[in-house]
Structure 1
Amino acid sequence: AVRVFCSSAAHFSIGRAAAVLGLDPDAVVPVATDGTHRLDPSSLEVAISRARRSADRAGRRFAPVVVATAGTTDIGAFDPLRAVTEVARAHGAWVHVDAAYGGGALLSDRLAPLLDGIAEADSVALDLHKLGWQPIAAGVLLTRDAGRWATLEHEVAYLNATDDALAGYPSLLGRSLRTSRRADAFKIAVTFRALGRHGLGRLVDACHDLACHAATRISAHPRLELAAPVTLSTVVFRYLPVATATGTTAGTATGTVDVDGINARLRRRLLESGRAVVGRTEFGPDRSVHLKLTLLNPDATASDVDALLGAVVWAGDAEDRG
């Protein structure tokens, strides 16, 4: 029985990948997070132990996989990689780190400690179109054991004849699930050659600074509410209508004030007016509608962020007035 353990805040693609592989519907096991939205190692221990006992009772071989998230989609939370890996290793589990978003933190001296323990993983996924500023297809899967790629190696006469490879014309057929694809690795190499780790790190830090600035402005504004502290470059918050901002408890619907509806509509107002495109998510125990800024432009300024938040308040006020 293959079981994939990940935090309840992990990316939806984990479940979709399990379905594509034909695994059981219950193959992906969501594990509780702590107060900072990170996978809780003690809850992981309980979940794996429970699944192992169930497999043993059914007489089935137990094959655990643990997926740790380095940078959740909404608030950029980083699972405690070293502690999670220790639990996984005790159960003989494969450890995969989904660093699609947060892997870029490795470029920053300031943020790299968030990824402490990533070197212990069996595999790591990176998506360099985020904090790497690459084409959208520039995803990378790294494995500790190069031999894991052997199953992709095939010799096809019209693609990678052995004598061509020996003559210095290698094929990438064994390095991707796709036979035909763009050479995005070349663009990654050029970027690293031109800017280096420190140059790219400065860009990551600039985006982090913008997110921190946005969080400070939101926390200080009476009509805005910050959902969680900033970790990387995303900021989750919501607009508070007058009734809630002046003391009434905010919620999905407070009295006659539909907080969720106002936040949903203000996004569309901003879009239709051509002023801004603001992200949307659901957050908190009541899964209330929140707004999300994903700040990935290192050339943006604090003034740009202030103007954007001003536009959010403008749109919210307009919706609040009906």
Structure 2
Amino acid sequence: MAAGRRPAAGRARADRGPGRERPRGRGRAAGGDRRVRLRPSRRAPRGGRRGRGAAAGGHRPHHASPVLRAVQPDADPDGRGRRDARGGVQPAAGRVVARARRRGDRGAPAALPGRAARLPATAGTTGAGAIDPLHGLAGLCADHGLRLHVDAAYGGAAALSDRLRPALDGIGRADSITLDAHKWLSVPMGAGALLTTDADGLAETFRVTTSYMPDEIHGTVDPYTSSQQWSRRFMGLKLFLSLAVAGRAGYAEQLERDAALADALRGGLAAAGWEIVNDTPLPVVCFADPGDGTWERHDALARAVVGSGRAWISPVRLDGRAALRACVISHRTTLADVGELVDAVTEARG
């Protein structure tokens, strides 16, 4: 069981409101202004073509693309989102849609001639597995000439499972998607990928010509023309070999098994008196001690469990609340490991 770092959801500039911390993850913003605002990038866009260079602007900040960045003032830096009227978690980008609908779309961002604008969404936050309403955001983007970028660095792997894929409903309407195979696809660190429908925009973002580089070969793509790296490792090989061996069916079996183990963990923790504080189909389980909600308490519990060598968990802040986080992403995790974790945290609680 492991908890990784928060995935980057794209670059966004943030205003700092009174008493609010600057968000730790890219693609999140904070502040008192509750309007959705657009800010132009420093570079002027070239040409009037919609979306030129926007596809690569989210996950790779180098060579910032000439886009407007959609700012989400109410985003939660811990990735849990706020509670909606039904008591469920409403991720940050979902509130953009909700506010626009309440206003009847008055004041919603409109496309500007000759410029592209991007709305970043998340398909599975690292902190709590929250998923934005992707269909609603795609519709908003279609109505106002925006491009939708989905940070699916962690949760995107669920698309390989017929049972888990509905959680990502609408992701196929995105203009660009980021996915980290080293998170949930069991490959070594350093296997990030960008998927985009705009091949020309991607090439335009990174294209550099020099006299000492060979000419383009018709019908082929040189990797250095579609990324910020010229000299680089064959990073895709490890994912290719894993897919060749396990196939889609093999990966689907693992992902569904991980989700089932997470369900078992939730049940075991609830039975032991822990409060489950997130709701997600992904195998991220966040739970809290109902008797002591302080950060110090949960940090000490995590340290005790990790120090025992029985499992690895971490403390996490969700909507300002302290909790513990466990993430089932290893194909080696078993039901016995889940039971061991329940026992370990319960014994540490005393």
| TM-score interval, smaller chain | 0.7 to 0.9
Matched ranges for 1:14-163 at <5 A: 14-15=27-28, 27-30=71-74, 33=82, 34=84, 35-38=88-91, 39-40=94-95, 41-45=97-101, 49-50=106-107, 52=109, 64-151=117-204, 152-158=206-212, 160-162=213-215
Q: Is the 8 A contact 1:69 1:98 kept in 2?
A: yes
Task: Write the letter of the residue equivalent to 2:288.
Answer: R
Q: Closer, same or farther in 2 for the Cα pair 1:83/1:28, shift >3 Å?
A: closer
Match of 1:231 among 260, 278, 281: 281
- The answer to whether the aligner puts 1:280 opposite 2:324 as a matched pair is no
Q: Which residue of 1 aligns with 2:348?
A: 315
Q: Give CA-to-partner distance per residue, 1:206-229, whole Å, 9 cap, x none.
A: 11111110011111112x111123
Q: CA 1:63–1:145 in 2, change beyond 3 Å: closer, same or farther? A: closer
Distance 1:24 1:108 in 2: 34
Tell me how far 1:175 sits from its aligned partner. 2.4
Write the mapping of 1:201-280 to structure 2, written as runs, cut at 5 A.
Answer: 201-222=252-273, 224-240=274-290, 244=291, 251-252=293-294, 260-280=295-315
Q: Secondary structure at the match of 1:216?
A: helix
Helix, strand or coil at the partner of 1:218: helix
Output the amino acid matched with 1:83.
Answer: G
Equivalent of residue 323 in structure 2, options 265, 268, 290: 290
Distance 1:11 1:77, change over 3 A: farther
Contact 2:182–2:189 at 8 Å: present in 1 too?
yes
Contact 2:135 2:169 in 1 (8 A): yes
Q: Alignment partner of 1:14: what SS?
A: coil
Distance in 1 separating the partners of 2:349 and 2:171: 41
Q: Is the 8 A contact 1:208 1:233 kept in 2?
A: yes
Q: Please report the TM-score for the alignment, with normalisation by the length of structure 2.
A: 0.71
What SS does the corresponding residue of 2:125 show, helix, strand or coil? coil
* C-alpha distance after superposition, 1:179-237 (max 9, x if no partner): 23221112211211221111111111111111110011111112x11112342010000
Provide structure 1 residue ranges, at least 5 long, that are not aligned to the other structure: 245-249, 253-259, 318-322
CA drift of 1:4 comes to 5.7
> Would you say the 8 A contact 1:271–1:277 is kept in 2?
yes
Q: CA deviation at 1:101?
A: 1.0
Shift of 1:27: 4.4
Alignment check: 8 A CA contact 2:289 2:298 kept: yes
Mean Cα displacement is larger for which, 86-95 or 264-273? 264-273
What is residue 256 of structure 1 aligned with on the other side?
Answer: none
The residue that corresponds to 1:13 in the other structure is 26
| Larger helix proportion of the pair | 1
Equivalent residue number for residue 247 of structure 1: none
Q: Tell me, what secondary structure is at the counterpart of 1:290?
A: strand
Corresponding residue to 1:181 among 200, 210, 232: 232
**Deviation of the 1:274 alpha carbon:** 3.3
Take 2:314 and 2:108, find their aligned partners in 1: how far apart are those partners? 37
Deviations 1:42-95 (A, max 9, x none): 225569854649x99xxx998642112111222212212111110121111111
> Structure 2 CA distance, aligned partners of 1:136 and 1:92?
36
Larger Rg computed on CA atoms: 1
Q: TM-score, normalised by structure 1?
A: 0.77
Say which SS state the counterpart of residue 130 (structure 1) adopts: helix
Cα distance 1:302–1:166, how it changes in 2: closer, same or farther (>3 A)?
same
Q: 1:278 offset after TM fit, Å?
A: 1.0
- CA RMSD, 1 decimal: 3.5
CA deviations over 1:136-184 (Å, ceiling 9, x no partner):
21111111121112222233455x412xx54999631012212232211
Measured in 1, the distance between the counterparts of 2:276 and 2:208 equals 52
